[in-house]
Chains A and B, each alone.
Chain A
Amino acid sequence: MLFALEVAISGLLSGIMYSLVALGFVLIFKASGVFNFAQGAMVLCAALTFVRLLELGVPFWIAAGITLIVMMVLAVVIERIVLRPLVNQPLIILFMATIGLNFFLEGLAQGVWDAQVHGLQLGIDDLPWEPLANSTGMLISIFDLSAALICGVLVASLGVFFHKGRIGRALRAVADDHQAAMAVGIPLQHIWAIVWAAAGIVALVAGALWGQRLGVQFSISLVALKALPVLILGGLNSISGVIVGGLLIGAGEKLAEVYLGPIIGGGIENWFAYLLAMVFLLFKPYGLFGEEIIERV
């Protein structure tokens, strides 16, 4: 039983990291109705920039600050030269543009820096947390705990920022009705730049945390794929949805790996999330918390 709990907890902790990546998608989707295919490339960009700056001897926090600025500038540039000219085009065209952006960013990041595998040390040990191990015998990694804490705080503060207050209201207004939002004087471009910048922050944190786990390299952009089932589960336009979705998937895949793995063969962790998502698509296509479209005549 204790072991099951341990598995569930470590699953939940990695689930929060999925939530974080998924949140990047949700913010952009809410503001512009665009599914940002380039989210993974942004993670790669941020992580590479960060790790290379560290390797150049830039102190940790300054490197983090510079990367953050780079991501924000990138957000504004993307809004200016990719999104703005495509305003009012069908959404599928914007989606295609983000696919293009994805390859461009991947190329850019690896061109400016390089395509080697870089180890990243955030200074958090990947060792069991002693007090917990001593008192209950559960082995929960300090790194997992800290990563979850960081992600949790970030997800919560982004959630609050984009739900309450002037900007949050404006974001939700834009999500509901672009034209009416413009009519009340909300500049769509600002909102877009803000959500892309937020997605940039998310990319940096996700890139750094996964970077320590997997090493910073091209494949880190694939963490974005982990966000897909979370999005399907939670709903593409729900901030609380991605939090719950991430937790469910994180815990679900770990438990499945441990308990179903021996029966149907290992590697469940790799596809369990997608299976869960498919089942959800059949029964709850809007996701757990996805906003249904209010139709009234």
Chain B
Amino acid sequence: MSGPGQRFPGFDVLSQSGNWDPVTARVVLARVGPAGDLRFFTPAEGQAAAALLDRLLGQADGPGVPLVGLVDARLSEGRTDGWRYDDMPEDGRAWRDSLSFLDADALAGVGLGFAACPAADQEALIQAIRDLGPADWHGMAAGHIWSLWTRYACTAFYSHPSAWNEIGFPGPAYPRGYKNAGVDRREPFEVRDARPSDDPVPEGA
């Protein structure tokens, strides 16, 4: 299995931050700074959320993006998407409720709170919810809670320069822009994929 950074050896988005406009730099660099205290989640919720988010993004071996901090900041500042499915409460409530349901599932199945479960059990609990599809999970459509979790998790993870390093994406591009667009063309600061035929897991695997 490919490890972080291996496909784009030496590629480091932050090494280019001197080329970013100051407004963008402020916003992006704030994400790589030290995570502050949680403001939205209670400490117990924060532990469950951290475990859930790390599993959803497969963070066991890094790169250690502070997912719970990023999600907590969004929820505490009300930076939600606004819309919600009619069988769901607003996002903040939905996060709290779903974390407590996840704990309940963990206690029933494993005898521990979700955060305290071994990683393999956490993964099994998550997969069970995923497998429900549109079916009911504690009074809400499992697919709707799945959508909420993955939207917040993916937005947090792929907003982080460490994530951009592993996918070969250079991040902010103003005011420099790109001069070499086109198939198999690169800018001097982009790094060629060292393993271009490393097709991801085939469909159905």
Q: Do A and B bind each other?
A: no
Q: Which residues of B contact A (CB under 8 A)?
A: none
Q: Which residues of A contact B (CB under 8 A)?
A: none
